[in-house]
A = this chain, B = another copy of it.
């Protein structure tokens, strides 16, 4: 057996949904013995019982319940793939489908979108907020605004705008309280982290405050910002926010970095579609006008 989970998962889903081997078998056009074998195999590979077998059917165990949403997600994923690969999604497309990350959306781009709608009221917008770089490759979106160091992709036309300046920030209140007691390399300060909790991950050692600890973590940029403004700790973030949140102060001694840039990406199929062109040009111009604020004094 090459792929234990993948192969058995649909059997699991069908049984979870129907509550019996035979009903699941009917749904999958197969025999109930086969379904049973797959379920047993899945339970064996996980080493956990997924169902309680009763005379009246199979009932999800606690582990089984944890697996259901995961399997459903995968199913959604595959259904979407099917639709998109067969090109059923792209057909009419009166709207421009646009994707960007949360921070950009909320603070930087949304006023631009409002102005765009004023000037081009005939163009509808479907706006996706996501941190996943791949959206445009999976044909989910037409245009994507990303913050990254490098773009190399066959089907994607990438337009590099300019580097964005990042620096460590904290709230004025946080610094007044913690900076007097902090050691030379940031000892006693806190970074607000990204992934799981790990008080001293690798990336911290490469910052200007290698001895600051990570005590809180969230993968959401906006929440990082919200916590930052309210005095949770330090975050490396765009200098732009200095201008809109007066309570933020650049941490003394922190380095400014210009490593990554803003990129505007569009799927190459759409390069010549007018409504997409309009939107991309408008957005690029508007963002270029904001260059001084986003690139900081290094512009």
Q: Which residues of A does B touch, CB under 8 Å? A: 2-3, 5-7, 9-11, 28-30, 46-48, 62-63, 65-70, 73-74, 77-78, 80-82, 84-86, 94-95, 102, 105-107, 110-111, 113-114, 117, 124-129, 132, 134, 137-139, 153-155, 196-197, 199, 215-220, 222-223, 226-227, 230-232
A121 to B, closest residue via Cβ: B215
Tell me whether A232 and B2 are in contact in the complex, defined as CB-CB below 8 angstroms, given that A106-B223, A218-B128 are known contacts. Answer: no
Contact status B232-A129, CB under 8 Å: no
Contacts of A106 in B (CB 8 A): 222-223, 226
- 3 tightest A-B CB contacts, nearest first: A129-B220, A69-B134, A127-B218
10 contacts between A and B (CB under 8 A): A5-B78, A48-B86, A67-B138, A110-B223, A114-B230, A125-B217, A126-B196, A128-B218, A129-B218, A129-B219
Contact status B126-A217, CB under 8 Å: yes
Contacts of A85 in B (CB 8 A): 46, 48, 63, 66-67
User: B11, B28, B113, B227: which contacts A113 (Cβ < 8 A)?
Assistant: B227
Contacts of A65 in B (CB 8 A): 137, 153-155
Contact status B10-A30, CB under 8 Å: no
Contacts of A230 in B (CB 8 A): 110-111, 114
Contacts of A47 in B (CB 8 A): 86
A48 to B, closest residue via Cβ: B85
Report the Cα distance A231→B115, complex, angstroms. 10
Report the Cα distance A63→B262, complex, angstroms. 27
Report the Cα distance A69→B130, complex, angstroms. 14
Contact status A126-B197, CB under 8 Å: yes
Report the Cα distance A134→B85, complex, angstroms. 28
Tell me whether A77 and B82 are in contact in the complex, defined as CB-CB below 8 angstroms, given that A10-B3, A129-B220, A216-B127 are known contacts. Answer: no
User: B84, B105, B138, B215: which contacts A220 (Cβ < 8 A)?
Assistant: B105
Contact status B127-A217, CB under 8 Å: yes
Tell me whether A29 and B5 are in contact in the complex, defined as CB-CB below 8 angstroms, given that A46-B86, A47-B86, A105-B226 are known contacts. Answer: no
Interface centre among A9, A85, A139, A217 (most CB of B within 10 A): A85
Contacts of A227 in B (CB 8 A): 110, 113-114
Contacts of A94 in B (CB 8 A): 197
Contacts of A132 in B (CB 8 A): 69
Report the Cα distance A211→B16, complex, angstroms. 41
Contacts of A2 in B (CB 8 A): 10-11, 28-30
